[in-house]
A and B are shown apart, each in its own frame.
Chain A
Amino acid sequence: MKLKLHVWRQKNAKTQGKMVTYDAPNVSPHMSFLEMLDVVNEDLIAKGEEPIAFEHDCREGICGSCSLMINGVAHGPQKATTTCQLHMRTFKDGDEIYIEPWRAKAFPIIKDLVVDRSAFDRIIQAGGYVSVNAGGAQDANCLPVPKDTADQAMDAAQCIGCGACVAACKNASAMLFTSAKVSHLGLLPQGQPERQRRALNMVQQMDKEGFGNCTNQYECEAVCPKEISVRFIARMNRDYLNASICGSGPEKKAGGGED
């Protein structure tokens, strides 16, 4: 099939970008969306034009590298699918496709369709872990976890950190991402000791990164390739309110003893 692509091209973070139109004359319906872009790129190189930079790695929907707003929808029209798993059979001959990068202040564009998502790493750094060193953990079966709790934690833990939630949100909010991690760990017994400070610190970092606020419209859930539920946002709100209002207040720095 034949397609017309409108692609955002931007040389680097400092320059202005613009939409550029390309023809994709030979697209097979069995191709993945990224394979379609590979073919377009091979043509561009043949013509001596720089190929379109886009992010990808595992191409099996789990690493979270690939992104792309496709016709205004994060990861394109198919539900619960990353761009790398989106196949061209979803489109029809003659379609025009708009391809844009994730857009958010917290995700500055590096080049073309590649954005910097390191804000997500910093949110995890703020508390998205259980503080346990490698070494003397107790036997894994000492602490039973009800199956449905473990299942729910897994529902949240599936997040691949792609950033589609931010891209789709009209406010570029990172609540779904942040809440998935807060909930994953907050649901499990292992995550209880740090539950309050985790919620406080991760939300604080999320705000600091310049993400917008949630207005409960759930576009995030609709585009999430792992179908992570907005239920976890409510859960994080609850944890955050609880930690703010009932918690012990800002931490005091420990005097010495580190290392």
Chain B
Amino acid sequence: MNLDPKIPSGPLADKWTSYKGNAKLVNPANKRKYTVIVVGTGLAGGSAAATLAELGYNVLCFCFQDSPRRAHSIAAQGGINAAKNYQGDGDSVYRLFYDTIKGGDFRSREANVYRLAEVSRNIIDQCVAQGVPFAREYGGLLANRSFGGAQVSRTFYARGQTGQQLLLGAYQSLERQIAAGKVKMFPRTEMLDLVVKDGKASGIVVRDLVSGKIESHAAHAVVLASGGYGNVFYLSTNAKGSNVTATYRAFKRGAGFGNPCFTQIHPTCIPVSGDYQSKLTLMSESLRNDGRVWAPKSSGDKRSPEQIPEQERDYYLERKYPSYGNLAPRDIASRSAKEACDEGRGVGEHGLGVYLDFRDSIQRLGADTISQRYGNLFQMYERITGEDPYKVPMRIYPAVHYTMGGLWVDYNLESTVPGLFVIGEANFSDHGANRLGASALMQGLADGYFILPYTISNYLAGVSRDPVAASGEAFKEAETAVKDKTAKMLAINGKRTVDSFHKELGKIMWDKCGMARNRAGLTEALAKIPALREEFWQNVRVLGEGESLNQSLEKAGRVADFLEFGELMCADALTREESCGGHFREEYQTEGEAKRDDANFAHAAVWEYQGEGKAPKRHVEPLVYENIKLATRSYK
């Protein structure tokens, strides 16, 4: 497997400029001769599809939701980072770059991250031009807030609905191109396989979720923007439909999968309330600007929060990380919450929770100010828990939120399959072993608006302009495989529902491959998952038919892939014998802090599929740091 990152030469700050200056171009009259498939319509896919169409390419765009506007980027709350330095507080491209690398625990590629920080500024300009209603100061200029892992205020936001507003901006641009006839949109259509013809990504096989029809589409290049795989845990903050199928199928067709074990557990989510629970709800990290995290000092303290006096409260983030305090990065904040709960100091009915307390801020700023900043989040919290966070501190607990791992891509955002580009959360990208808050939106839009349009042109310029057709052996084989698999799932008619398998898998993953991992647990998971998968294919019950809307069938297909993918994650977690970022191996720690092993693991682990029933092969892309000195991450 060729893992050449294709980083342009030259000084870090000039790489992207020189890349753009030297990239091959497609002349405007020829652009319309190329067709590009974009799978997914979140921030990355939506912005990419719109931008490619604006440039003149023909775009075929797919999403499983009923409208591109529903992609899960819409749920991002807190904000988007950009190195604008509007606050004059010392921010710069370099600082954002450095914070991101450091936040990711030195497990990402310098050149990609620098480029991300560089284009972050254009994103804000572009979004404002589209009419995204970012928060503003009385003077009419843009407002900023702080986020975890940074000591500057560089986060732009639109109340607690930043993701929604940015996505609607991209969605509107996309709809404009649909109206112009440059994008053909396929909503309620799910990608079920990638077609690789003559060594190049040439198309996809999809299922029309309404008619059940299985069809193929061909293109000169395929872009996957299908998001992350957090739902392998069943309970996560992801949307119910979010899944690994598109990227996992690409993996099975030869795309290397980078760092699958890097998952982000978000520290501030609403705790689980019962086994019927279908998803977890995030409370934006921005709440940590004004909320203070604490747990009782003594274990087993069952008093209600207002009865616990100040001196018996442990504001553990402020105690352990005085310089960042409540704004410590997500992995650290999550692990600290878990520690407190493991020590029996957890709060709430099941003891799995800590307090996020606004008492002091409300006293200092007044309830009105707090409501202006977080009103909708407080309201959401009250809806779900029935408790009023203005009066009672919120109870929060970490939950799976984001996956830093994904399909491996080079500087061009191209996977190991030529012509297959992967953007947004779907790639393994820029966040290393831990993503900083408000950086996912930044990455999705950077990829879609400002990076992919250049790199894909560079690729297409070298590809024949002849029209493509979804025909030939490769398409036929892929289509048949999808049809067979669908028919097989419907034919089993066993005893257990799809959800019951998904829940069981999720529990294995959370217990063994969640916030803390160890060799024994991972080995156990690696034995349990194949057995569960076996049972799935013997005993799952999928009712209804293939030729109509069938939500059980959709779920079954996704869970079938999670049942394979979970194994890959555990294998990756087992072989990465260090702790870094969101990957915490209990064997590798010093005084409760992650112990990185730069000598042996300063690389991206990339997995190559070897065929049905064979263990995937692990490759590495060494991470070369030319500009940054590897250091132990300290937020103390």
Most chain B beta-carbon contacts within 10 A, residue among A30, A134, A139, A185: A134
Residues of A in contact (CB 8 Å), total 79
Q: Closest residue of chain A to B84, judged by CB?
A: A140
B74 touches A62 (CB 8 A): yes
B124 touches A140 (CB 8 A): yes
Q: Closest residue of chain A to B277, judged by CB?
A: A35
Q: Closest residue of chain B to A39, judged by CB?
A: B276
Chain A residues with CB under 8 Å of chain B are 11-12, 28, 30-32, 34-35, 38-39, 42, 45-46, 48-51, 53, 55-65, 78, 80-81, 85-87, 89, 110-111, 114, 116-118, 120-121, 124-126, 128-135, 137-141, 143-147, 150-151, 153-154, 157-158, 160-161, 184-185, 188, 190-191, 259
A114 touches B164 (CB 8 A): no
Chain B residues with CB under 8 Å of chain A are 28, 32, 47, 50-51, 54, 56, 65-70, 72, 74-75, 84, 86, 122, 124-131, 133-142, 158-159, 161, 163-165, 168, 171-173, 175-176, 178-179, 185, 187, 210, 237, 239-241, 273-274, 276-279, 281-282, 379-380, 383-384, 386, 449-450, 453, 497, 499-500, 541, 543-544, 548-549, 551-552
A126 to chain B, nearest CB (A): 7
Residues of B within 8 A of A12 (CB): 548-549
B66 touches A118 (CB 8 A): yes
With contacts A141-B142, A157-B165 taken as known, whether A59 is within 8 angstroms of B67 at the C-beta atoms is no
B172 touches A134 (CB 8 A): no
**CA distance in complex: A132, B210 (Å):** 34
A81 touches B552 (CB 8 A): no
Residues of A within 8 A of B47 (CB): 134
Which residue of A53, A59, A132, A259 contacts B239 across the interface (Cβ within 8 Å)? A59
B380 touches A147 (CB 8 A): no
With contacts A133-B54, A134-B47, A141-B86 taken as known, whether A153 is within 8 angstroms of B133 at the C-beta atoms is yes
Residues of A within 8 A of B65 (CB): 57, 63, 65
With contacts A120-B67, A130-B130, A140-B142 taken as known, whether A60 is within 8 angstroms of B282 at the C-beta atoms is yes
Residues of B within 8 A of A128 (CB): 172, 175
Which residue of A55, A61, A184 contacts B380 across the interface (Cβ within 8 Å)? A61
B239 touches A190 (CB 8 A): no
With contacts A117-B67, A138-B125, A140-B142 taken as known, whether A125 is within 8 angstroms of B176 at the C-beta atoms is yes
B56 to chain A, nearest CB (A): 6
**CA distance in complex: A160, B163 (Å):** 12
Residues of B within 8 A of A121 (CB): 67-69, 175, 178, 185, 187
**CA distance in complex: A139, B141 (Å):** 11
With contacts A45-B497, A80-B379 taken as known, whether A110 is within 8 angstroms of B549 at the C-beta atoms is yes
B172 touches A146 (CB 8 A): no
Instruction: Add 4 more A-B contacts to A62-B75, A110-B549 (CB < 8 A).
Output: A60-B279, A85-B384, A117-B67, A144-B140
B543 touches A45 (CB 8 A): yes
A130 touches B142 (CB 8 A): no
Residues of B within 8 A of A32 (CB): 278, 384
Q: Closest residue of chain A to B158, judged by CB?
A: A154
B276 touches A60 (CB 8 A): no
A134 touches B66 (CB 8 A): no
A161 touches B69 (CB 8 A): yes
Q: Closest residue of chain B to A37, judged by CB?
A: B278
Residues of A within 8 A of B56 (CB): 259
B159 touches A154 (CB 8 A): yes
B274 touches A28 (CB 8 A): yes
**CA distance in complex: A120, B539 (Å):** 41
A53 touches B549 (CB 8 A): yes
B493 to chain A, nearest CB (A): 9
Residues of B within 8 A of A124 (CB): 171-172, 175
B128 touches A137 (CB 8 A): yes
**CA distance in complex: A26, B175 (Å):** 44
**CA distance in complex: A60, B70 (Å):** 12
Most chain A beta-carbon contacts within 10 A, residue among B50, B136, B164, B277: B136
A20 to chain B, nearest CB (A): 16
A42 touches B499 (CB 8 A): yes
B327 to chain A, nearest CB (A): 23
B130 touches A157 (CB 8 A): no
A118 touches B187 (CB 8 A): yes
Q: Closest residue of chain B to A125, judged by CB?
A: B179
Residues of B within 8 A of A86 (CB): 383
With contacts A12-B548, A85-B383, A110-B549 taken as known, whether A130 is within 8 angstroms of B74 at the C-beta atoms is no
B28 touches A259 (CB 8 A): yes
Task: Jot down 8 A-B pairs with beta carbons below 8 A, ordered by A.
Answer: A64-B69, A85-B383, A89-B386, A134-B50, A141-B142, A147-B136, A147-B137, A259-B28
